[in-house]
């Protein structure tokens, strides 16, 4: 659980070992712009839902941005599933899209954390670390992280890579 542990701290700010879920796999994807990120995200979601037959109800996409400002909701057209803010009763091909903040305390089997870009670097290091921890620790089985090169570099530095 290397991606989460660097951001896990107790109330005094001291590092602690995360006892998070046993992740089978963590993937990281670098992107240059919103279109590139959405294309990579949709490819990953299609792999999970269509190729691997993961029920869409077991997948969530998290973003640090408000959904009104997010590029995610605008760029999911043409997929065999839809990104939604709330699951409809009985809807089979809906993938929940939520803010990291709103999903705090919840978990899902497959989690994609997207839109980790330079805008995130404007926040304090403590705020960024909190968002990273909350976003990355929501996955029970598989985590995919979509970030720009600068954010991925920060994550590598935090992990000591």
The β-bridge partners of 97 are 61
Distance of CA 53 to the CA centre of its chain: 20
- Whole-number pLDDT of residue 77: 63
Name the pTM for this structure. 0.85
Task: Output the DSSP codes for 97-136.
Answer: EEETTTTTT--EEEEEEEEE-GGGGGS-HHHHHHHHHHHH
Residue 16 clears pLDDT 60, i.e. is over it: no
Supply the pLDDT for residue 7: 56
pLDDT value for 12: 59
Tell me: the pLDDT tens digits for 105-124? 899 999 999 999 999 989 98
Give pLDDT tens digits for 55-67: 999 999 999 999 9
φ, ψ for residue 104 (rounded to 5)? -60, 130
């Amino acid at each position: 659980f290397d991606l989460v542990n660097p951001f896990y701290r107790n109330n005094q700010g001291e590092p602690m070992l995360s006892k998070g879920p046993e992740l089978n796999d963590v993937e990281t994807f670098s992107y240059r712009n919103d279109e590139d990120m959405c294309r990579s995200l949709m490819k990953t979601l299609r792999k999970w839902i269509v190729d691997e037959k993961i029920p869409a109800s077991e997948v969530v996409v998290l973003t640090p941005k408000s959904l009104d400002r997010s590029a995610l909701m605008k760029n999911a057209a043409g997929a065999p599933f839809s990104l939604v803010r709330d699951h409809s009763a009985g809807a089979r091909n809906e993938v929940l899209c939520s803010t990291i903040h709103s999903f705090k305390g919840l978990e899902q089997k497959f989690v994609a954390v997207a839109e980790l870009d330079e805008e995130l670097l404007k926040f304090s290091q403590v705020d960024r670390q909190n968002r990273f921890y909350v976003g990355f620790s929501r996955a029970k089985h598989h985590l995919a992280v979509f970030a720009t090169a600068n954010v991925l570099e920060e994550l590598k530095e935090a992990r000591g890579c």
